[in-house]
Amino acid sequence: MGHCSIRNWGEVMHVLILGAAGMVGRKLVQQLSAVKTIGGREITAMTLFDMVDAQKPEAAWPVSIRSGDIAERSDIDSLLVHKPDVIFHLAGVVSGEAEQDFDKGYRVNLDGARALFEAIRAQDYRPRVVFSSSIAVFGGPYPEIIDDAFLAAPMTSYGTQKAAVELLVSDYSRRNIFDGISIRLPSVVIRPGRPNKAASSFFSGILREPLNGEEAILPVSRNVRHWMASPKSAAGFLIHAAGLDTTKLGGRRALTMPGISVTVGEMIDALGRVAGADRAALIREEPDEMIIKIVGGWPHNFDAARALQLGFSPEVSIDDIIRDYIADELGGRLG
C-alpha cells in the first residue's frame, strides 16, 4: 500500500504536525481527532513532533509521538521517510525569544523551515505544507484597514523569519517541490495558562483571569484595538488550509486570516455580558508606558478578503471566544 499525495485520492492520509505540543498545535490535534478528515479525506495516521513529547490524543488512527530539533536535518529526514501527505509546520521559537536570542531565532525559525523544505525535496514527492505564519510580518505605518496587497515590513526578528519563510513556501510551491500555503494567524486570544512576559499577554489575561475569579491588570487604554482569533478558529484555519484547492491561490500563497478587530473596551463589555459584571469588575487599570508603546505599533484591522473568498470561516464575536474558553478550558463553568 503506497502513500499518495493529497492530489491523488487514495486510501492513505498521513498527517505530520511539527510543533504539536504548542498551544495552537494541541488545539489542532484535538480538532483533527474530532473532525477525522482533511479536505474530505479520512485521516489514517498521524505523527506529532515537537521538542518535547506531545500529549497522545484520543484518535481513531495510529499516532506516533516523536521529539527532536526542527533545525536538525536528520531529525526531519526521519519524519519524512513515510512521506506524510499533509505537513503542518507550527514549530518555532516565539517572538520574545527570537528577539532575545538572534542566532536561535534564525536557526530554528528560518533554517529549520528550510531544512524541512529541503528534506521534502530530497524525498521527491509533493505533500501539502501548511505553514503557520503571523501578522507579525507587518509593520507600520499602516492604513486604517490593511488589505491583502499590503507589504510585509516586519518590526521583529520573529516577523522577519516568518516573512522569509512565506517567500520560501511560495517559491518551493511554484517549483512544484511541495504544495504550500502560509496562514497568517491573528493574535490568539484567549490563551490558556498563566500570564507571561509577552507585551500581548494582557489581551488574554483581562478575560482569562476574571473568568478564573482572579484580578487582571489592564496596562493600556480601553480604546486600544487588536486583531484576534480564538485558539479554536486558529486551528480551524490551518485545517481548512490543508484541504484547500491551492490552484485558486495563484502566486500568492500567504493569506491573512479573518480574525476580528476588537477594542479592549469591547472585550470588557463582552466579559460582562457573558460572565457577569462582577467578573468584569476584576480588571484593574494600571497604564504601562512601555506596553502602550509596543502595542501601539501593532496592526489592528485587516480586510481579509482573499481568505474569506477561499472559504476560511471568520471569527464571529468576542462573546463567542469567551464562551468557547469557558466550554473548552473551564469545563463549562466559571472558575
Binding region for a copy of itself (CB under 8 A): 102, 139-141, 143, 148-155, 157, 160, 163-164, 167-168, 170-171, 174-175, 250-252
What's the grid cell of residue 188? 490568539
- Pick between residue 151 and residue 277 the one whose CB is nearest to a copy of itself: 151
- Our CA angle for 68, 89, 294, nearest 5°, is 100
In whole angstroms, the minimum distance from the beta carbon of 150 to a copy of itself comes to: 6
Amino acid identity at 20: A
Give yes or no for a contact between 83 and 134, defined as CB atoms under 8 angstroms apart: no
Return the number of the residue (106 or 325) whose C-beta is nearest a copy of itself. Answer: 106
- Could you give the residue numbers annotated as active site? 158
Beta bridge partners of 86: 15, 128
Say how far apart CA 311 and CA 188 lie, in whole Å: 20
Q: What is the dihedral of CA 133, 115, 123, 131, to 10 degrees?
A: 0
Pairing of strands 37-38, 41-42: antiparallel
Q: How far is the CB of 300 from a copy of itself (least distance, A)?
A: 17
| DSSP SS3 for 50 | strand
Least Å distance, CB 91 to a copy of itself, is 20
Of 40 and 251, the one with the shorter C-beta distance to a copy of itself is 251
How many C-alpha atoms does 221 have within 13 Å on its Cβ side?
Answer: 5
CB of 145 to a copy of itself, least distance (A): 13
Q: In terms of CB distance, is 109 or 204 closer to a copy of itself? A: 109
